[in-house]
Structure 1
Amino acid sequence: MITEFAACTAFTAAEEGGYVCDARDSGNWTSGICGTGSLVGSNLGVGAPILERWFGTSTRVTTALMRALPPATYQAIAMEFYWQPMQCARLPAGLDLMVFDFGWNRGCTTSVNIFLRSLSLGAACLQAPDGDAVAAALLAVPLQTWLRSIPLSDILTLQTMLGLHVDGIAGPQTLAALQARPDLRIHLAVLVLAAAQLLSYRQLSNFATYGAGWMARTMRRRISALALLTMQVPVRLVG
């Protein structure tokens, strides 16, 4: 799981980039509220309130401190405040990236809730002692539920992958073909989750300001997640 953690944090760090200081972004203020507290910016996606939480009362978070944020501190914050609370180590490869990066951007609780709700999963699968509980739960979800949640373009792509007549209709043939390909179950789950994350962004009050960037990031997240699961999911689903 350390390798997957490294891949996920590398993606998020690349998306967030280096030091930025946008006064319109509440994450750049130490209070977490625009215009309140100190405007110190963020670095590698680590916002001012998160860095304040990390250091506690022992260290005053300043612009200089934020600018000099070491990658090792980013990794430590990622593990303690995001990866572990969201149980990303229990998720199949690809879905871990979807949950982690979205959680970094929207918050852990929001990310986990959308993951569970969009994929029709119970929270118990994230707490089960069996590390493959999430993968098993995904295999048990009726595919019709998911197919109703993805756009036509994804249906067309799936039909092409399955060697079916490409008509965009998720009917009995498409359903049967997917049932016979459990290795594509998590691929489909990534598509469903990406659609739910896109919808979540559209509902935000500041979508007009940041929406284009969020949408583009979600599509890059999806592409990277599909690449990760292509390499690892078949092995993890055996048995």
Structure 2
Amino acid sequence: MAKGNMSACLPITLAYEGGFTSDRRDPGNWTGGAVGKGRLKGTKYGIAAASYPNLDIARLTIAEVTPIYERNYWRPLGAEALPSGLDLVTFDFGVNSGTVRAAKALQAVVGATIDGVIGSDTLKKAAASDVKQAIQSLCARRLGFLQGLKTWATFRGGWSKRVADVEARGVAMWLAASAHADPKGALSEEAAKADAISRKQRRSAGGTTALATGGAGSNAAVGGEINWLLIAGGVAVVVVVARLLVLKARQNRERAAAYEALAKVS
């Protein structure tokens, strides 16, 4: 079993992976990988019957799933050698969206060769990086990937809050490992920064909407006649921008809340 920080990281991830479920409509809960195929054994701690048909899913313990997560995620991501905090966000990303994707995102953040394989070069550059910035950048990339999925509209609430929480916990781990003089104050500062960004984005969204409703027709006249297609196109673009700003404002508000919650218990 891996040593180091895995014992602190795994419970955070497992809290999001969830307890036991046996919904008959979920193909992952069946040992045959399809609804009605094989036995209905369910899923627990993110371990599904479809992938582990021989396990007694309902009775799985943390001790039993730990080697699975170590083998399939922790070791492939080189998490044992990553700086504290960066190991958590990389590991949770890998569990949620695949180890290769998480590895490539980490490599992009620390400036290593992007090949999806965590080796000595990636680990060296991760160790030399601005760890807090790397944690936050990696979480931003992760959220960007999730937003591009077709299932984003369905799961965006849970995914967004998970990424915000994991980011804040990663920064808290980094602060603890670096023996920061005032971790509580540092977390509160990050909360304030995220809140300020959120407020600015909300104001920008409001201003953008006002521009769409108040200024759309001012430059849409062609030869003295109103070009309704130009107006419609302009308004549509502005609406998209406004919605994006609102989304980002909400996400930064969630980041602020996650940091502030940890500051209160630090």
TM-score range, shorter chain: 0.5 to 0.7
Give yes or no for the alignment of 1:99 onto 2:44: no
Partner of 1:7: 8
1:39-188 matches, cutoff 5 A: 39-52=40-53, 59=54, 61=55, 65-122=56-113, 126-128=118-120, 132-136=124-128, 138=129, 185-188=130-133
Give yes or no for the alignment of 1:202 onto 2:147: yes
> Compared with structure 1, are the counterparts of its residues 121 and 33 closer, same or farther at alpha carbon in structure 2 (3 Å cutoff)?
farther
Query: 2:30·2:37 contact (CA, 8 Å) conserved in 1?
Result: yes
Gaps of 5+ in 1: 53-58, 139-184
Partner Cα distance (1:130, 1:227) in 2: 23
Partner Cα distance (2:35, 2:163) in 1: 25
Give yes or no for the alignment of 1:223 onto 2:175: no
Give % identity: 29
Partner Cα distance (1:117, 1:129) in 2: 12
Partner Cα distance (1:31, 1:118) in 2: 39
| CA RMSD in angstroms, aligned pairs only | 2.8
Q: Secondary structure at the match of 1:126?
A: coil
**207-216 vs 96-105, greater mean Cα deviation:** 207-216
Q: Secondary structure at the match of 2:44?
A: coil
Shift of 1:33: 5.9
Per-residue CA shift, 1:107-154, capped at 9, x if unaligned?
111211222224432258932289655312x2xxxxxxxxxxxxxxxx
Shift of 1:38: 4.9
Higher relative contact order (CA 8 A, sep 6+): 1
Per-residue CA shift, 1:167-201, capped at 9, x if unaligned?
xxxxxxxxxxxxxxxxxx21111111111010111
> Compared with structure 1, are the counterparts of its residues 26 and 120 closer, same or farther at alpha carbon in structure 2 (3 Å cutoff)?
farther
Partner Cα distance (2:153, 2:26) in 1: 13
Q: Match for 1:207: what amino acid? A: W
> Compared with structure 1, are the counterparts of its residues 35 and 195 closer, same or farther at alpha carbon in structure 2 (3 Å cutoff)?
farther
Relative to the length of structure 2, the TM-score reads 0.58
Partner Cα distance (2:60, 2:49) in 1: 11
Partner Cα distance (1:114, 1:26) in 2: 29
Query: 2:84·2:177 contact (CA, 8 Å) conserved in 1?
Result: yes
Q: Which is greater in Rg?
A: 2
Gaps of 5+ in 2: 181-266
> Compared with structure 1, are the counterparts of its residues 27 and 88 closer, same or farther at alpha carbon in structure 2 (3 Å cutoff)?
farther
> Compared with structure 1, are the counterparts of its residues 93 and 22 closer, same or farther at alpha carbon in structure 2 (3 Å cutoff)?
farther
Relative to the length of structure 1, the TM-score reads 0.64
